Each structure stands twice: as structure tokens, then as C-alpha cells.
């Protein structure tokens, strides 16, 4: 595997409040990394910096092997399309293409084909014409994941995606993520507050605590928790 994202001496925070100090982390292409830490530790701050939404206090974020922050798919913790907007599943997923369309005023064949592939990959192509608001919680989360996939072929970032899913829907969603990682080679970063072995489904962990961010193999981190 080759490095796709490199964080060098990275410090993050807001004003005088520094939440992460001097972090040195390397993400390899094909990694599945779970980001863990207490509330307020800096998990979401780290993700926002990688996405280019906030600037580091110091240090560097290097995107490699053709990756740019505009080419990262993102599934935020709270994603609630307006109930008054009668969007279909296909329209929701198409909106994920907007970030890399530039100034084009309309979706073209390329975007529509990409959407079809995303829906098929997630096994929800039969939902394309359905109203998003009529779907179950598990179906909605898969549609939002498909929208994120429409933005990228390289890296996907998810912020506590299992929130508000029942046990069965969560297990199904995790299986989908592992398939995307293993079969499509998609690099995944996932914030999670669950520290059960069943929820730490990646191969690596970024553990954030008291301003420090370190990377460790998942099996070693699970041993530390015992």
C-alpha cells in the first residue's frame, strides 16, 4: 500500500483552545481507520481539517496519489434533507457529484452513470425513483452513503454513521463498509464512539486523548482495552 494522506506536526483548535497537538499520522491507500476518543477530544475537528473545512494552527496535511480534499466523500453525523423537498433517491445521490462538477450547470451522462454504479454497489438501485422521506432508517443511511460515494473513488469519511440505526441495520451497514473497503479498495476513516470489538471494524485506530493523536493496529488497541 502507498500513503494517501500524511499529517505532519499537525496542531488543531480554535483560538487559544488547542485540541490536538503535534500529530504525525500516515493513512495508507486501502486502510480502514476508526477514529476514537471522548466527546470533545477532537475527533470531528480532525475530520474537518482533513476535509479542508478548517485551517490547522500549525503543521501540514499532505494529500498524495491523486487525492485532494475536494475528492473525499463525507457522510456527516447529522444529515437530514428537508422534509418539504420531495427529492427522489436518485436526486439525493446525484447531489453528491456537485463538488467535482465545476461550473457545469447540468448533470451529464458521466455523473448519472456514476450514480447508477453507486446504487448498484449498495444494492439499492431498485429505490432510485422512491421518495427519500418514505424510506426506512437503514435505507436512508445507505442512500446517504451512496451520495458520499458519488463524490469519490478514493477516500470516504464517516462521522458516527451507526447513530440512530437499530442493531440489524447497523450490522448490515458495517458489512457494506467492509465490502467497499476490501473489494473496491476504498480508504475509509470512520469516527465512532463505540469501543466494542464489533464496532471497531477497521484495521487501524486513531486514538485521540488529552491533545494527543496516535495510530495503532486495531488488534493491539483491543488488547489495551482489556
Asked if residue 56 lies in contact with residue 12, where contact means CB atoms within 8 angstroms, the answer is: yes
Residue whose entry in the numeric block shows the C-alpha cell 444529515: 79
Burial classification of residue 46, based on how many CB atoms lie within 10 Å of its CB (0-12 exposed, 13-18 middle, 19 or more buried): buried
Tens digits of residue pLDDT in 10-60: 999 988 789 999 999 999 999 999 999 998 899 999 999 999 999 999 999
Domain boundaries, the chain: 1-67+156-226, 80-153
DSSP SS3 for 147: helix
Q: Does domain 1-67+156-226 have CATH number 3.40.50.300?
A: yes
Residues facing 190 on adjacent strands: 34, 158
Tens digits of residue pLDDT in 177-221: 999 999 888 999 999 887 777 778 999 999 999 999 999 999 999
pTM of structure: 0.86
Amino acid at each position: 500500500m502507498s500513503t494517501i494522506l500524511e499529517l505532519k506536526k499537525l496542531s488543531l483548535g480554535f483560538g487559544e483552545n488547542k485540541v490536538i497537538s503535534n500529530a504525525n499520522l500516515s493513512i495508507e491507500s486501502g486502510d480502514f481507520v476508526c477514529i476514537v476518543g471522548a466527546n470533545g477530544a477532537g475527533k470531528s475537528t480532525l475530520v474537518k481539517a482533513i476535509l479542508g473545512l478548517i485551517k490547522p494552527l500549525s503543521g501540514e496535511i499532505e494529500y498524495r496519489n491523486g487525492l485532494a480534499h475536494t475528492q473525499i466523500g463525507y457522510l456527516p453525523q447529522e444529515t437530514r434533507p428537508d422534509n418539504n423537498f420531495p427529492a427522489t433517491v436518485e436526486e439525493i445521490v446525484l447531489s453528491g457529484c456537485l463538488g467535482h462538477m465545476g461550473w457545469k450547470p447540468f448533470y451529464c451522462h458521466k455523473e448519472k452513470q456514476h450514480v447508477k454504479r453507486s446504487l448498484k454497489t449498495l444494492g439499492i438501485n431498485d429505490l432510485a425513483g422512491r421518495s427519500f422521506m418514505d424510506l426506512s432508517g437503514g435505507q436512508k443511511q445507505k442512500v446517504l452513503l451512496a451520495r458520499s460515494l458519488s463524490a469519490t473513488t478514493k477516500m470516504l469519511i464517516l462521522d458516527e454513521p451507526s447513530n440512530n440505526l437499530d442493531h440489524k441495520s447497523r450490522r448490515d451497514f458495517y458489512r457494506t463498509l467492509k465490502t467497499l473497503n476490501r473489494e473496491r479498495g476504498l480508504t475509509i476513516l470512520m469516527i465512532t464512539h463505540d469501543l466494542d470489538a464489533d464496532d471497531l471494524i477497521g484495521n487501524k485506530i486513531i486514538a485521540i486523548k488529552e491533545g494527543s493523536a496516535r495510530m495503532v493496529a486495531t488488534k493491539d488497541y483491543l488488547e489495551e482495552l482489556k
